[in-house]
Amino acid sequence: MISPDQALKLVVDNVQAVGLERVSIRQALGRILGEPIHVPRDIPGFDNSAMDGFAVRSDDLADASRERPVELKIVETIAAGSVPKVELGPRQAARIMTGAPIPRGADAVVPIEQTRSSNDAVEVLVSVASGWCVRRRGEDLREGDLVLAARRRLRAADVGLLASLNCSMVDVYRQPRVAIVCTGDELVDINQQPSGAQVVNSNAYALAAAVSEAGGEATLLRVARDRPSEIRERFCEALCCDAILSTGGVSVGQFDHVEEVLRELGIRELFHGVSQRPGKPLMFGLLERRPVFGLPGNPVSALVCFELYAKPALRKMGGWENFWLPKVTALCAQDIKTAAHLTEFIRVKIERRDDQLYATASGEQGSAILSTLSRADGLLIAPAKKTILPRGSQVEVLLLSCEAALAYSPGFEV
């Protein structure tokens, strides 16, 4: 049985990005950029006004003040989008709107609030320096600049930037398509009330949501009952996707058939069993070069294994450069018992007290108690050599949500 660190290395070393696709920038938000973007022209492309006001020659206003205003003749009105027609001479001004080009002869703009104007003249109440309230050509971006590097996760401002460069289509990494195969005679769907020993198939919906969070596209296949022929049929259907997640059937019970079926299909098994809790029966391998995660059937075990191993793998497949879970150091707020001889991932709440983070167990740690995972901010890593973490001891915590990472992990970027 291998350690969690060894398992994670085997996973990430055996997956690669699934390739690029060209999409409209309307579909690019949150995607990973697949090409460097350079600036085709100066932005802005001309000197323009940063304010509504009057374009002036700053030398004319050297002595202007409220007590001694300087009167200038208005020779033109320049709207945004129009081209100036007049070159300003001494003691002349042009009424100008925000974003409009600066006329020849002018070198500054006086905001309208610092003036008193009539139809054909304006009194300027302040002196201004050359360049005042002028946006210079290229002050945002220069032609040829690298503006967005490949492997950047695109945000709303990036989409606006692409639009300003006339870039309507962009190459992004394709989101990995992930098949979800849930196995078990006891499973019923969400719209069916369980009876007897039946349970609702919550794993399917939790994993589909987790795949979306990781930047993938989930495909839910029909539940496979605990018969090798049905399990084989589902895995064959799953081969249309880039990766496969299965739940249940990976332990050593009489009705656990997933491993034998995958071996018949030719999987290259890289490990089966990790010295951790929860999720000890985890299986991983490659089936026709596709990563296959044989997750345990218990809801917490399935999701914890997804977070630890499948999420980094899917992010790497989707082109993410930093695909690791954010990690912080905290102090135990209480004594925490841990599993003997296994690395235990304990569901914890995090809180900050006087610039120090503290971790508290979010509740009972059974592998079927999903509510304590829902309440958790992270997974405390309890070393295999310890059976108790005393109050005040220093621990590492993997953060599970963007909200927790933004709150507790300096430098984290969504």
| 357 secondary structure, DSSP code | E
If asked whether residues 156 and 276 sit together in one domain, one would say: no
- Looking up tokens 């006891």 gives 186
pLDDT at 404: 85
Angle between helices 258-265 and 228-238 (to 10 degrees): 50
- Nearest CA-CA partner of 11 in 300, 232, 276, 305: 305
Domain span at 165: 20-42+149-173
Does any domain span residue 263? Answer: yes
Query: If we measure between CA atoms, which residue out of 145, 172, 148 comes closest to residue 29?
Result: 172
227 burial type by CB count under 10 A (0-12 exposed, 13-18 middle, 19+ buried): middle
Q: Residues 155, 192: one domain? A: no
For residue 349, the tally of other CB atoms under 10 A from its CB is: 17
Asked, for residue 274, whether it belongs to a domain, the answer is: yes
CATH of the domain at 188: 3.40.980.10
24 and 165 co-located in one domain: yes
In a domain, 333, yes or no: yes
Radius of gyration of the chain (CA): 31
User: What does the H/E/C string look like for 93-131?
Assistant: EEEECCCCECCCCCCEEEEHHHEEECCCEEEECCCCCCC
Tens-place pLDDT, residues 48-85? 999 999 999 999 999 999 999 999 999 999 999 999 99
Count: domains in the chain = 4
The strand pair at 20-24 and 169-173 is best described as antiparallel
pLDDT for the residue numbered 250 = 85
- Evaluate the CA torsion angle 131, 134, 135, 136 in order and state its sign: negative
Decide if pLDDT at 350 tops 80: yes
Co-location of 272 and 380 in the same domain:
no
Confidence of residue 253 (pLDDT cuts 50, 70, 90): low
Query: Looking at residue 401, what is its pLDDT?
Result: 85
Close Cβ partners of 43 (under 8 Å, ≥ 6 residues apart): 138, 140, 141, 164, 165
* CA contacts within 13 A on the Cβ side of 272: 15
Q: What is the CATH number of the domain that holds 160?
A: 3.90.105.10
End-to-end CA distance of the chain: 35
Quick one: pLDDT at residue 346? Answer: 97
Query: Which pLDDT belongs to residue 108?
Result: 98
The domain boundary, picked from 317, 335, 355, lies at 317
pLDDT of residue 275 exceeding 90, the answer is yes
Domain end call among 78, 108, 135: 135
HEC string for 12-52: HHCCCCCCEEEEEHHHCCCCEECCCEECCCCECCCCEECCC
- Check residue 372 and give its pLDDT: 96
Q: With beta carbons less than 8 A apart as the criterion, state whether 125 and 69 touch.
A: yes
Tell me if 217 is assigned to some domain.
Answer: yes
The rounded distance, in Å, linking the Cα atoms of 408 and 351 is 9
- On whether residue 143 sits in a domain, the answer given is no
pLDDT of residue 268: 97
Do 388 and 308 fall within a single domain?
no
Please indicate, yes or no, if residue 413 is contained in any of the structural domains. no
**What is the Cα–Cα distance from 310 to 178, expressed in whole angstroms?**
10
Are 200 and 158 members of one domain? no
Helix (H, G, I), strand (E, B) or coil at 187: strand
Residue 54, token pair as written in the block:
């009057």
- Which candidate, 93, 83, 100, 84, places its Cα nearest to that of 55? 93
Residue 44, exposed/middle/buried by CB under 10 A (0-12, 13-18, 19+)?
middle
Judge whether 333 and 348 are in contact, CB under 8 Å: no
- pLDDT at 414 exceeding the cut of 60: no
List Cβ neighbours of 267 (8 Å cut-off, separation of 6 or more): 285, 286, 287, 292
Q: With cut-offs at 50, 70 and 90, classify the pLDDT of residue 47.
A: very high
Please check whether residue 342 lies inside any domain of the structure.
yes
Q: Do both 312 and 209 map to the same domain?
A: yes
In this structure, what CATH number is given to the domain that contains residue 346? 2.40.340.10
Amino acid (one-letter) located at 290:
R
Domain match, 53 and 36 both:
no
State the average pLDDT over residues 344-370. 94
For residue 254, pLDDT beyond 70: no
**Tens digits of residue pLDDT in 391-404:** 999 999 999 988 88
User: Do residues 389 and 349 share a domain?
Assistant: yes
CA distance 340 to 335: 15
Q: Give the confidence band of 137 by pLDDT, cuts at 50, 70, 90.
A: very high
Where b means 16+ CB within 10 Å and e means fewer, 76-104 reads bebeeeeebeeebeeebbbbbbebbbbbe
- Average pLDDT taken over every residue of the chain: 95
pLDDT at 408: 83
Predicted TM-score (pTM) of this structure? 0.86
In a 13 Å sphere around the CA of 125, the CA atoms on its Cβ side amount to 10
Q: pLDDT above 90 covers what percent of the chain?
A: 88
CA distance 138 to 147: 13
Whether 154 and 26 share a structural domain = yes
Residue 411 has what pLDDT?
A: 66
Q: Among 244, 246, 285, which Cα is nearest to 266's? A: 285
- CA separation for the pair 367, 251 (Å, rounded): 14
Task: Report, as an integer, the average pLDDT of 38-48.
Answer: 96
> Binning pLDDT at 50, 70 and 90, where does residue 110 land?
very high
CATH number of the structural domain spanning residue 100: 2.170.190.11
Q: How does pLDDT run across 168-177, given as a tens digit for each residue?
A: 999 999 999 9
* Domain limit, last residue, from 135, 161, 195: 135
